Structure 1
């Protein structure tokens, strides 16, 4: 239920990849969490909390990128992590055990598009990263969040601006601009199937009874040399882009993309030294009235 992906990666209500490839999706979410960890921490630090929340809900938690960032930011808090994927929740529990924080995490498997939600307590903070745009009826979901939050509680909506970019504009050499053409193809698909991706959540939050206390755009531009996870992150993301864009690409573009995705080939994206991660994350912090 995560991250947006296809993206927006990321942690997700109805991820189209869940049923087809839950293991591969979980790996992408883990890479997403690793590569964007500093940016996630900066977002949790920015949140305009009036007092450190003791109970937090992570809606569409995926494999736990937000959950663990929130546990680190609020060391006295407990987090209820909610997702529709049993495998993602199992992976989250394993990580919590390895980190020694299993006593601070509760996992709940639930479909957030359902009319009736399970008991999530009365949290002082609800976090939804790359999950809200997957909702079939986001207006209803926002009202449900409003009703669950404690009086004066804070709701944080974090959204990624689609798939990240990784290649320089003039790459690959034989098909410059390939990545941008892939994004154009997936944008058309998402406009049809995921119409709320890229939405301005401010007016919708206000309509649901929240007061928007802050909004910001976080620019992401990470050099590939920063971490060895970036080539694998690029590979996994482009594999998902191929699944969405293949029918719209020219034979020449598809052949060039397949060369990038051939992990044993000389043109594999894993062999490139010119990668970076470029995208934006948008954040809204909204308060429920007393």
Structure 2
């Protein structure tokens, strides 16, 4: 997962920079100094925000000590040492001590909350008047393969994503929630709502190819008991010899869609 998050950040870097530019536009003349990154993972959002807001420091919150350790090491390598503090916390257990915030950022994290409405109330409570909350949720899993891939029958990636979507719906009941209604009910005014579409055509850059390989390795590891033999064989063939055949596919692309809401307390 750490590798996938870092590669996703590299592949979507230009789109993320555009999103932080939109946040800065909506912030206007307000100086953004105190930022909270919920479900910070490997630091994708934290670092993009630190680049965008030179006076800011980020409190990066995650449940995983491993992720936060990786983030702290990356912060030092990126020259952000001293501008990031980490907090290991489960927001379902309560909001940690962060102080007031000018900006809260939550990328692909709100659907993990057991009680997202209570967490939204906590976010509203920590924001200064006129502060911003930027929320991003994955609309669709990244897609890479042409539809004709599959030993014996085409459509391998459709079947992989159907299994992944079923598992997400079973274990993460708030995936695909009516977030605009939840945000409004929590006392926010929606300033911007749009889809962030990542489309990288073939031939892919090296990082995007590694992203595809890491994604399919994760599918292979997690779906052994749920895939038919021919699909397992297809995956094994694509991933053999450091994903040699996957890398050689002429029509390998990246496509993903993320829904974005930028809101402020009403």
- TM more than 0.5: yes
Residue 11 of structure 1: aligned partner: none
Residue 8 of structure 1: aligned partner: none
In the alignment, structure 1 residue 153 sits paired with structure 2 residue 153: no
In the alignment, structure 1 residue 258 sits paired with structure 2 residue 236: yes
Count the aligned residue pairs. Answer: 263
Alignment of 1:1-290 (within 5 A): 25-47=1-23, 48-50=26-28, 51-115=30-94, 117-172=95-150, 174-264=152-242, 267=245, 269-289=246-266
Unaligned runs of at least 5 residues, structure 2: none
User: How well do the aligned residues superpose, as a CA RMSD in angstroms?
Assistant: 1.8
Q: Indicate conservation of the 8 Å contact 1:126/1:156, yes or no.
A: yes
For the residues of structure 2 that align with 1:264 and 1:57, how far apart are their CA atoms? 38
Identify the range of structure 1 (48-57 vs 279-288) with the bigger mean alpha-carbon deviation.
Answer: 48-57
CA displacement 1:37-96 (0-9 Å, x = unmatched):
111111111122232311111111101000010011111111111111112112211121
Q: Indicate conservation of the 8 Å contact 1:162/1:198, yes or no.
A: no
For the residues of structure 1 that align with 2:18 and 2:201, how far apart are their CA atoms? 18
Runs of 4+ off more than 4 Å: none
Q: Indicate conservation of the 8 Å contact 2:151/2:230, yes or no.
A: no
Q: Displacement, 1:244?
A: 4.2
Q: Indicate conservation of the 8 Å contact 1:89/1:109, yes or no.
A: yes
Q: Normalising to structure 1: TM-score of the pair?
A: 0.85
Q: Displacement, 1:253?
A: 1.6
For the residues of structure 2 that align with 1:272 and 1:197, how far apart are their CA atoms? 32
Q: Displacement, 1:224?
A: 4.3
Unaligned runs of at least 5 residues, structure 1: 1-24
Residue 5 of structure 1: aligned partner: none
